[in-house]
Homo-oligomer: A and B are copies of this chain.
C-alpha cells in the first residue's frame, strides 16, 4: 500500500449496450478486468423521443442501456473512469455517465480475504 492509498471505490457506468465489448477490453487493459453487468433502461436530459407505429403515435422515453460496475482498490480510480469514458464514447447524445461511489469494505467469498486484496 502506498502513501496515496485511495481506498476502495465502485465505478458505476451507464453505457450503450453496443459499447460493452470495447469497455470490457479497455478495463482489462487498464488492469481492472473484474466487473458486473446489468441490463437497465434509462433516460438522460433529453425530452422523450416520439415515433409512429401503425398510425399510432408513441413515445420512447426509456432507452436500453447497460450498467457496468467495477470495484477497484489498487489502481487509480481516475484511470478506470477514463478507460470507460474513452471506450464508451461516440460523441452522439446518449453516450452515458460514469459515477464513482465510496466502498467501505470488501470480502472475497472463496478465500475470505478482506480489504484491498479482496477486490
> What is A's interface to B at a CB cutoff of 8 Å?
8-10, 13-15, 24, 33-45, 61-62, 65, 67, 71, 81, 84-85, 88-110, 112, 118-119
Contacts and interface: CB of A to CB of B under 8 A. Distances in A.
Given A24-B61, A42-B37, A43-B35, A106 B99 contact: yes
B89 A65 contact: no
Number of this chain's copies in the complex: 3
Given A99-B71, A103-B100, A42 B33 contact: no
B67 A95 contact: no
A50 to B, nearest CB: 16
Nearest to A71: B99
Contact of A96 (B35, B94, B97, B109): B109
Contacts of A39: 38
